[in-house]
């Protein structure tokens, strides 16, 4: 192996394969930073030609074949794959792996399932190659101007990638939004949780908007200013900012607010579902993300919605809104958002434990402060929380967040009650409050559930007042016996 490009014939320190919107933007971002020479290749040559025609001044090394691409890279050869997740990614990995040598680095910057990333990393490691699954957030604009980057993979690969990725990442308060998350699939896992939190955050904002309109009786026009004012305070975030922009938009055809002519069926690309599936497997209640995924699913069932609407004879009468209703909604949104993030970070902790990653939660919050969809002021508070106590049991017990939630708690309860009384769905707000109340309750009805389980399945229970495992002989004399823990 050599670092001398003349011996390998390569001049590019980094290559990008896959030049659709994400890949070409990332390649442009890379090429615009000092010190980078970027090789580019795409299966269909027209895309490469288009990039060169429009941005050839950035000094790309354009390849017409995969062999040409590989030989244009200096060692250790480093290539970022930006192709469709799944089979396309596997195909490109194999093409590179057949040509790369020990120590070279293949980065998958697509939205891969982290289980695939773990498998690919293991396979390529056995072939002497470095494989890095890197979550890249921020969409096409982020790829071009600076995304938040969540790379996994080996420390060896990180040493080469760090200066390159730092050069293109978004910057928050002087710090590039990239950190080595952990080995193998850690980066794609954390990107998955990021997307899950994004679902929850969007759902909560949508519920706030709905309550303001349908319970508070506000016109869309008034809400634009309200969301803009919220964006000046502790809710300041990209998602609140774009909410105001979407609400301000008028439809050119009808003159109505665009939000009123958009079909109310929310789609998704599946990372929210992955987050919930994995959380279920790991036993982590991410109810905020779950409710957000389910709310999109409900919205996308027009036939079922219409059928229920037909049989419902009466909806609740309008409810009088109390003084300060808008502030109450804002407080409920903030408190529910704290819960959603607390649950997301719990999932990262559980994933790290399960898959053996040494993650730095504060560093993750830090790299989400710019470049990505959930970028927000709020994340500075999470950085502080983990800086003060890296072993924090839950974000909800951090003094700042505990205080903030306590401050908004009464308003949160008023809003959930008002939503229920008004017949306006608020699954995110109400499930967040239930989660909070569950953690805050000294006793939970789980005791009764254990009794039921013991009754029908002899699943046994433990007692509050002595050690051991017990079973009541429900079908016989109803006497309690000490027993072995149930394994079924």
Residues that bind ligand NBP (CB under 6 A): 18-23, 42-44, 47, 82-85, 88, 91-92, 110-111, 136, 139-140
d(CA 472, CA 461): 9
Name residues whose C-beta falls within 8 Å of residue 165's C-beta, 6 or more positions apart in sequence: 134, 149, 151, 176, 178
3-state SS of 242-259? HHHHHHHCECCCCCCEHH
Cβ-based nearer residue to ligand NBP, 21 or 481: 21
Closest CB 85 distance from ligand NBP, rounded Å: 4
Cβ-based nearer residue to ligand NBP, 150 or 223: 150
CB 361 within 8 A of CB 349: yes
Closest CB 24 distance from ligand NBP, rounded Å: 8
d(CA 147, CA 151): 12
CB 83 within 8 A of CB 18: yes
466 is catalytic: no
Q: What is the phi/psi pair of residue 217, to 5°?
A: 70, 20
Closest CB 204 distance from ligand NBP, rounded Å: 22
d(CA 382, CA 373): 16
d(CA 224, CA 67): 53
The DSSP 8-state label assigned to residue 322 in this structure reads P
d(CA 226, CA 414): 20
Closest CB 47 distance from ligand NBP, rounded Å: 5
34 is catalytic: no
Cβ-based nearer residue to ligand NBP, 43 or 453: 43
Say if residue 83 is exposed, middle or buried (CB neighbours under 10 Å; 0-12, 13-18, 19+).
buried
Q: Which residue's C-beta sits nearest to ligand NBP?
A: 110
Among 34, 54, 98, 191, the active-site one is: 191
- Encoded tokens for 250: 């008028």
Cβ-based nearer residue to ligand NBP, 21 or 261: 21
Closest CB 311 distance from ligand NBP, rounded Å: 41
Active site residues: 191, 198
């Amino acid at each position: 192996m050599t670092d001398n490009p003349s011996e390998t014939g390569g001049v590019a320190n980094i290559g990008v394969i896959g030049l659709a919107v994400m890949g070409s933007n990332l390649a442009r971002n890379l090429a615009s930073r000092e010190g980078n020479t970027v090789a580019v290749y795409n299966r269909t040559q027209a895309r490469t030609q288009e990039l060169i025609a429009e941005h050839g001044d950035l000094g790309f090394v354009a390849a017409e074949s995969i062999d040409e691409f590989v030989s244009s890279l200096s060692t250790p050869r480093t290539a970022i794959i930006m192709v469709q997740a799944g089979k396309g990614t596997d195909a490109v990995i194999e093409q590179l792996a057949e040509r790369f040598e020990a120590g070279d680095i293949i980065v998958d910057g697509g939205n891969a399932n982290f289980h695939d990333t773990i498998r690919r990393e293991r396979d390529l490691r056995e072939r002497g190659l470095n494989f890095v699954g890197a979550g890249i957030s921020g969409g096409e604009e982020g790829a071009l101007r600076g995304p938040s980057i969540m790379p996994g993979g080996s420390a060896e690969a990180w040493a080469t990638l760090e200066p390159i990725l730092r050069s293109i990442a978004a910057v928050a308060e002087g710090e590039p939004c990239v950190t080595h998350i952990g080995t193998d699939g850690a980066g794609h896992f954390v990107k998955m949780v990021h997307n899950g939190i994004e679902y929850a955050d969007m759902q909560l904002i949508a519920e706030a908007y709905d309550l303001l309109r349908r319970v508070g009786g506000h016109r869309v026009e008034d809400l634009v200013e309200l969301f803009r004012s919220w964006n000046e305070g502790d809710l300041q975030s990209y998602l609140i900012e774009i909410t105001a922009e979407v609400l301000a938009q008028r439809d050119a055809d009808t003159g109505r607010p665009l939000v009123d002519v958009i079909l109310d069926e929310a789609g998704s690309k599946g990372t929210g579902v992955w987050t919930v599936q994995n959380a279920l497997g790991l036993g982590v209640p991410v109810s905020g993300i779950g409710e957000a995924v389910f709310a999109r699913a409900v919205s996308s069932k027009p036939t079922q919605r219409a059928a229920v609407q037909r049989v419902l004879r009466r909806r609740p009468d309008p409810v009088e809104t109390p003084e300060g209703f808008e502030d109450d909604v804002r407080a409920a949104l903030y408190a529910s958002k704290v819960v959603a993030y607390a649950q997301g970070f719990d999932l990262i902790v559980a994933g790290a434990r399960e898959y053996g990653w040494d993650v730095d939660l504060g560093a993750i919050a830090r790299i989400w402060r710019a470049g990505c969809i959930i970028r927000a002021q709020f994340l500075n508070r999470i950085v502080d929380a983990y800086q003060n106590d890296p072993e924090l049991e839950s974000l909800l017990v951090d003094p700042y967040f505990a205080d903030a939630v306590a401050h908004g708690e009464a308003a949160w309860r008023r809003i959930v009650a008002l939503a229920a009384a008004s017949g306006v769905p608020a699954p995110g707000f109400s499930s967040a409050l239930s989660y909070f109340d569950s953690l805050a309750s000294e006793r939970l009805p789980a005791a009764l559930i254990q009794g039921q389980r013991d009754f029908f399945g002899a699943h046994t229970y433990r007692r509050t007042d002595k050690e051991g495992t017990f079973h009541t002989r429900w079908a016989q004399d109803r006497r309690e016996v000490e027993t072995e823990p149930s394994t079924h």
